Amino acid sequence: MTRMIIIGPPGSGKGTQAEHISERLGIVAISTGDIFRTNVKGGTPLGAEAEKYMDAGNFVPDRITNKMVRDRLGEDDVGNGFLLDGYPRNTAQVDYLDELLAADEQTLDVVLQLTGDNEELVSRLLGRAKETGRSDDTEDVIRHRLDLYYDQTEAVVAKYAGRGILARVDGIGAMDEVTDRAMEAITSAQTATT
């Protein structure tokens, strides 16, 4: 059983790698971004509130995100482990997740950080915006999201690095090569903590 987080700046390939890694490990991938977009598309009250923040390139507030993650981690398919993609994004969410896991006598096994050059990340996201028509992927919004990532999320990375469960991998390159590097880093991190 593996309980893990994948983290990295927008455009670093978190979603793609989350799918491949979760398949290889036999665990469920939980993407907060996908859940937000599903709610927006479905016109739910949560979606309507989340959309305002997403379209501006801002993070959805903790009170909404924490409730959603708590509910999702309570579902049956997380029994064999999980891979969280897009959560936690700040240290308050780290503390909340710690409390959630501790309530079930669980802890995280590994936090995988994907890295990448900013200009490459912007280029990737602009390309994706053209392909998918995502309203939240304009160049200004992308650069704002990158700034938010470095301002807020890097503190999360530092916290997990301090616990000795952080594994860093370059997210730029061929998809399978990145997945292979990620799996090697996950294995090394889990071996180091056992």
CA 132 to chain centre: 20
Identity of the residue numbered 16: T
Task: Please say if the pLDDT value at position 193 is more than 80.
Answer: no
Give the structural domain span for 15: 2-193
**pLDDT digit string, tens, across residues 6-41:** 999 988 998 899 999 999 999 999 998 877 887 788
98-153 pLDDT per residue, tens: 999 999 999 999 999 999 999 999 999 998 888 887 766 789 989 998 998 888 88
Number of domains in the chain: 1
**Which CATH number covers residue 151?**
3.40.50.300
- Residues that constitute the known binding site: 11-16, 32, 37, 58-60, 86-89, 93, 128, 134, 145, 173
Verify whether residue 163 is a known catalytic residue. no
pLDDT in tens, 66-95: 888 887 888 899 989 999 998 998 999 999
Q: 128 catalytic, yes or no? A: yes
Marked catalytic residue, from 3, 72, 124, 145: 145
Residue 14 among the catalytic residues: yes
> pLDDT class for 194, splitting at 50, 70, 90?
low
Among residues 3, 72, 89, 124, the one annotated as catalytic is 89
Helices 32-42 and 62-73, interaxial angle, to 10°?
A: 100
